[in-house]
Amino acid sequence: MKKRITISIDEKTIEKLRKIQAETIHKESRTVSFSEVVCSVLEKGLMC
């Protein structure tokens, strides 16, 4: 089940997420949305 959430992120974290987004786009040669990156980072963090 998916839920919609609202979060506040500081500029430094947004820059890091945008860097991850750019690296993923470059590596996989496909478009990746900002929300996909945020979800991926959250999932990886929860799996640790």
pLDDT value of position 4: 87
Q: What is the pTM of this model?
A: 0.78
Closest residue by Cα to residue 36 from 10, 15, 18? 18
- Integer angstrom CA distances of residue 24 from 3, 7, 38, 39, 42: 24, 22, 12, 14, 16
| Distance, CA of 9 to CA of 11 (rounded, Å) | 7
User: In a structure prediction context, what are the per-residue pLDDT tens digits for the chain, which is 48 residues long?
Assistant: 878 889 899 999 999 999 999 999 999 998 999 999 999 999 999 887
